[in-house]
């Protein structure tokens, strides 16, 4: 290749680079037509939908407080029970026998207490006699009418009577009362055991499960029956932190239940958990539904409500997602200025801006993806 051809190639390349640069500059300076909207402080109506599963308002696992052989069962799975109905009867013959013995022991203890009281009374009488005899002997001794040995005998008799009275009126009576207390406590305990031999339903509801049969030995503390209260069902679900402030306890919501597409129920928000679940971004919520139609727990359901919030609102189409950030283009003096914003509640029509935008500023609504920072625009 001669020098002339090389020169032509270099010249052509230079011209091509110059043309590309000029095109790039023209592209950068291209005026983009946009429509704008004003960031305004207003109400934003937000339709909210929550989905979850219906659960009973109360579930109670029933167990026995004592061990024993099952002699009868009151209800089968699926049957309705009322609070206080007998679910299980345990063999109580041994307890009844112990009760008879305990009653006899209490009678014996009370008889022993009466004997101790009588003994204390007798000891008090004897003490009175010993005191009077001592006073008489003392007078005679001081007059020289009796010997010193007689005086010593009177003192000994008085000391003995005092000791006997103190024992009979103190420790002996206390011991007799302690025997009565022990017999009464044993009797109370056995009566409780006899009462616990009959297991009753703690609530009204449906017997959901039963894991015991007649003839089996029931161990204390082991759950064998479950009772569920279906009179009120709870829709258990979660709500994210962005929409948490839109709901409060007492709010009424429309409920639809899968399997009943043409029917609507009313639900009431009864609980919003004060602590987020493990993800740290959603909070538990419960919505109560009166179960007048014999609905079954476990059905999936959906709750709806139209909520309102106030704040700086812009059209949702103004929001551009760029490198993981939400941003808008603020239009001022025919120039687009890229601005990172923090968004709140949003739907198809409007988005709440929590930070990054002031009321009254103009934002690009159309052609946002064609804009770059500091690009000139033509407001339509």
Domain harbouring 85, CATH code = 2.40.50.100
* Structural domain contains residue 174: yes
103 and 153 fall within a common domain? yes
Q: Both 68 and 214 in a single domain? A: yes
Indicate the burial class of 48 (C-beta count within 10 angstroms; 0-12, 13-18, 19 or more): middle
43 neighbors 310 (Cβ within 8 angstroms): yes
What is the average pLDDT across 113-120? 83
Residues 237 and 160 grouped into a single domain: no
* H or E segment to which residue 150 belongs: helix 148-169
Residue 7, pLDDT above cutoff 60 = no
Of 204, 200, 208, 226, whose CA–CA distance to 61 is shortest? 226
Q: Please check whether residues 103 and 168 belong to one and the same domain.
A: yes
Give the pLDDT score at 23: 44
Work out the pLDDT band at 124, boundaries 50, 70, 90.
confident
Give the lowest-confidence range in 15-24, 86-95, 107-116: 15-24
Q: Residue 170's pLDDT is what?
A: 75
pLDDT at 278: 64
Are 72 and 215 within one domain? Answer: yes
Number of domains the chain is built from: 4
d(CA 271, CA 247): 10
Residue 204 domain boundaries? 64-91+197-222
Per-residue pLDDT reduced to its tens digit, 236-271: 998 887 788 888 899 999 999 988 877 889 999 999
106 and 187 belong to one structural domain: yes
Using the predicted structure, report yes or no on whether residue 24 has a pLDDT greater than 50.
Answer: no
CA-based nearest residue to 311, from 341, 280, 267:
341
Give the pLDDT of residue 220: 93
Do 151 and 290 have their domain in common?
no
- Asked if residues 305 and 45 have their Cβ atoms less than 8 Å apart, the reply is no
Indicate the residue among 265, 283, 308 that finishes a domain.
308
Query: Residue 324 pLDDT more than 70?
Result: yes
State whether 323 and 359 are in the same domain.
yes
CA 53 and chain centroid, separation = 18
Mean pLDDT score, 148-175: 84
User: In the prediction, which pLDDT does 279 show?
Assistant: 66
- CATH code of the domain containing 243: 2.40.30.170
Burial class (CB in 10 A: 0-12, 13-18, 19+), 23: exposed
Strands 86-90 and 300-315: unpaired
Convert the pLDDT of each residue in 58-94 to its tens digit: 999 999 999 999 999 999 998 999 999 999 999 999 9
Residue 288 burial (10 A CB sphere; 0-12, 13-18, 19+): middle
């Amino acid at each position: 290749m001669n020098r002339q051809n090389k020169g032509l190639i270099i010249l052509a390349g230079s011209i091509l680079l110059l043309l590309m640069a000029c095109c790039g500059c023209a592209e950068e300076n291209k005026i983009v037509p946009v429509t704008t909207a004003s960031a305004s402080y207003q109400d934003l109506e937000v339709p909210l939908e929550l989905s979850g599963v219906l659960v009973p308002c109360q579930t109670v696992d029933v167990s026995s407080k004592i061990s024993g052989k099952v002699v009868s069962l009151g209800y089968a799975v699926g049957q309705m029970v009322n609070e206080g109905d007998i679910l299980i009867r345990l063999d109580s013959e041994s307890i009844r026998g112990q009760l008879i013995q305990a009653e006899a022991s209490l009678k014996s203890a009370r008889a022993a207490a009466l004997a101790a009281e009588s003994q204390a009374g007798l000891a008090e009488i004897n003490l009175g006699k010993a005191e009077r005899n001592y006073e008489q002997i003392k007078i005679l001794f001081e007059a020289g009418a009796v010997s010193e040995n007689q005086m010593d005998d009177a003192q000994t008799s008085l000391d003995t009577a005092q000791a006997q009275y103190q024992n009979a009126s103190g420790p002996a009576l206390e011991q007799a009362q302690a025997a009565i207390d022990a017999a009464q406590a044993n009797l109370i305990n056995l009566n409780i055991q006899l009462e616990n031999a009959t297991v009753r339903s703690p609530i009204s509801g449906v017997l959901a499960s039963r894991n015991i049969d007649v003839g089996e030995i029931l161990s204390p503390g082991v759950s064998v029956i479950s009772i569920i209260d279906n009179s009120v069902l709870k829709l258990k679900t979660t709500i994210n932190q962005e929409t948490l402030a839109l709901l409060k306890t007492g709010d009424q919501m429309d409920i639809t239940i899968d399997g009943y597409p043409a029917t609507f129920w009313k639900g009431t928000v009864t609980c919003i958990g004060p602590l987020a679940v493990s993800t740290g971004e959603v909070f538990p919520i419960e919505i109560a539904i009166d179960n007048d139609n014999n609905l079954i727990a476990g059905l999936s359901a959906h709750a709806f409500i139209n909520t309102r919030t106030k704040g700086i609102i812009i059209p949702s189409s103004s929001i551009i997602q760029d490198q993981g950030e939400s941003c808008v283009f603020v239009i001022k003096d025919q120039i687009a200025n890229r601005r990172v914003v923090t968004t709140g509640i949003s739907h198809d029509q409007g988005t709440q801006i929590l930070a990054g935008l002031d009321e009254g500023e103009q934002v690009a609504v159309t052609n946002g993806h064609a804009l770059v920072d500091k690009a000139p625009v033509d407001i339509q």
